[in-house]
């Protein structure tokens, strides 16, 4: 029985490019601000490529430009300050990827040197790519959202319409970061390290956004027909399931972390087709109810990542291009806030993108687990895992087995083995 006529391509009308308001304002500079006590009321050191280094007494001294900080949270009344979640990657992690210490700074012959300088240059390049790639309507105000992904999602020219008939199913099927509750295999000593292995950001974004999406309405599916009609990728499905783990060890069940989103306290019962297919490898699935889309389509061209971000294979070597590409797909994968209804809406795009991301990330987590690591979380094209006193050669072997990109090494390990520490 067909219950809705929903064309994925049925978006709100978009004016031609010539009619869009032109961005004539100057984009704010991006800088790095490191708070000494990890509190907005404390002082610290900041650096921007425009003004160089300076000390500040509190966050109130940083009211101009955009400052990426080491803070977990920033006050809403200080929109110029961004938390360490603004880019999905903490600035301390960016510093590690660059092989520098974030708080290091000095002047040599009148030239600014140090980790803050290197990170600030990456942030400035990231801003320049984002400014050039998207049709910003107000360059001085469009950065007000807490994350770059939110800023990009806000200016994309079209949004998917929600389908009330499958709203409950979509909410139940959405899961982002997975948090396994696993017991350590060994008693880790002080030499153990928590490492985040990550795929190349651009490659992961392209893989996620390549998944076929539901289109042209949904039909209710009779559970008596079993699973055969629910696994055709060109007829996407949403399925309410009962799961009986078969042949899966308790460790593997914990690793799958079904419903164990870091922000959830309830166990979900709905899955989309992508997750259904890989769960069938490990569990006996009983279909309680389901919906099947009438067709599938690729992500509409107006929502694809711009060529200036992903259009050249060489961009995969660029950290700034990768940060923008990641922000693009994450913006589409996050539930959308409807300012008219004041409610958060989960879209089919967000569910399918998160499921694809979770499927890829789970395979990385499984390999890391099989290689002796203790997995604490996975998602966003990566896995966070603890290893006991790893060396560079071991980490490189694990890195290659996981299909992760370089660099993946914690800076203290590199420093220890080359004699810096």
- State the pLDDT at residue 160: 74
* Contact criterion met (CB below 8 Å) for 134 and 152: yes
pLDDT for 120: 94
- Residue 337 CA neighbour count, 13 Å, CB half: 8
Of the listed ranges 13-27, 200-214, 307-321, 394-408, the least confidently predicted one is 13-27
Per-residue model confidence as pLDDT tens digits over 73-110: 999 999 999 999 999 999 998 998 888 888 767 767 76
Q: What is the pLDDT of residue 247?
A: 79
- pLDDT for 203 equals 97
pTM of the entire structure? 0.87
pLDDT band at 410 (very low <50, low <70, confident <90, very high): very low
For position 140, what pLDDT does the model report?
Answer: 77
Compare 191 and 122 and report the one with higher pLDDT.
Answer: 122
Lowest mean pLDDT among 41-45, 53-57, 188-192, 207-211: 188-192
Q: What is the DSSP string of 307-349?
A: HHHHSSGGGGG-HHHHHHHHHHHHHHHSPEEETTTTEEE--HH
Residue 318 has a pLDDT of 92
Cα gap 26→140, rounded to integer Å: 6
The pLDDT value recorded for residue 184 is 62
| pLDDT recorded at residue 191 | 66
Distance, in Å, from the CA atom of 252 to the CA atom of 249, rounded to the nearest integer, reads 5
pLDDT for res 190: 65
Question: Is pLDDT at 9 greater than 60 in this prediction?
Answer: no
Over the stretch 368-390, which tens digit does the pLDDT of each residue have?
999 999 999 999 999 999 988 88
- Rg value, the chain, Cα: 23
341 vs 223, more confident: 223
Instruction: Give the CA count within 13 Å in the CB-facing half-sphere of 310.
Output: 20
pLDDT tens digits along 149-174: 999 999 987 667 778 889 999 999 99
**pLDDT 10s digits, 343-360:** 788 999 999 999 999 999
The predicted pLDDT at position 6 comes to: 42
Give the pLDDT confidence score for residue 114 in this predicted structure.
Answer: 84
Whether residue 404 has pLDDT greater than 50: yes
Q: Look at residue 8 and tell me whether its pLDDT is greater than 80.
A: no
**Residue 160 DSSP label:** P
pLDDT of residue 336: 81
Q: How many CB atoms lie within 10 A of CB 223?
A: 15
Res 357: pLDDT: 97
Q: Count other Cβ atoms within 10 Å, centred on residue 149.
A: 23
**Are 245 and 283 a contacting pair, CB within 8 Å?**
yes
Judge whether residue 215 has pLDDT over 70.
yes
Cβ count within 10 A of residue 326? 25
């Amino acid at each position: 029985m067909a219950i809705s006529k929903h064309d994925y391509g049925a978006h709100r009308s978009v004016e031609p490019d010539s009619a869009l308001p032109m961005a004539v304002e100057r984009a704010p500079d991006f800088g790095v601000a490191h708070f000494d006590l990890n509190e907005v009321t404390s002082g610290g050191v900041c650096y921007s490529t425009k003004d160089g280094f300076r000390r500040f007494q509190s966050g109130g001294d940083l009211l101009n430009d955009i400052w990426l900080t080491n803070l977990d949270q920033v006050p809403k009344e200080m929109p110029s300050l961004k938390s360490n979640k603004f880019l999905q990657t903490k600035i301390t992690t960016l510093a590690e990827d660059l092989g520098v210490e974030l708080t290091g700074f000095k002047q040599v012959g009148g030239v600014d040197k140090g980790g803050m300088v290197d990170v600030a240059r990456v942030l400035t390049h990231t801003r320049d790519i984002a400014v050039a790639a998207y049709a910003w309507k107000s360059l001085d105000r469009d950065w007000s959202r807490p994350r770059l992904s939110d800023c990009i999602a806000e200016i994309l020219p079209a949004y998917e319409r929600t389908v009330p008939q499958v709203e409950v199913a979509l909410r139940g099927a959405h899961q982002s970061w997975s948090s396994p509750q696993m017991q350590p295999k060994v008693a880790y000593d002080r030499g153990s390290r928590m490492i985040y292995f990550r795929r190349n950001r651009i490659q992961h974004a392209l893989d996620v956004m390549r998944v076929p999406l539901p289109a042209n309405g949904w039909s209710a599916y009779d559970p008596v027909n079993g699973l055969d009609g629910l696994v055709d990728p060109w007829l996407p499905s949403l399925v309410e399931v009962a799961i009986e783990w078969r042949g899966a060890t308790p460790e593997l069940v914990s690793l799958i972390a079904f419903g164990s989103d870091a922000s959830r306290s309830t166990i979900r019962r709905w899955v989309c087709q992508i997750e259904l297919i890989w769960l069938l490898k490990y569990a006996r699935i009983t279909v309680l109810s389901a919906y099947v889309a009438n067709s599938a389509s690729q992500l509409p061209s107006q929502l694809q990542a711009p060529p200036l971000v992903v259009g050249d294979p060489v961009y995969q070597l660029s950290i700034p291009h990768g940060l923008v590409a990641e922000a693009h797909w994450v913006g589409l994968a996050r539930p959308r806030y409807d300012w008219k209804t004041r409610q958060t809406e989960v879209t089919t795009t967000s569910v399918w993108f998160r499921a694809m991301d979770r499927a890829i990330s789970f395979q990385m987590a499984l390999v890391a687990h099989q290689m002796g690591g203790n997995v604490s979380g996975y998602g966003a094209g990566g896995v966070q895992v603890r290893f006991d006193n790893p060396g560079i050669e071991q980490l490189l072997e694990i890195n290659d087995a996981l299909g992760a990109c370089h660099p993946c090494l914690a800076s203290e390990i590199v420093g220890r083995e080359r004699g810096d520490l």
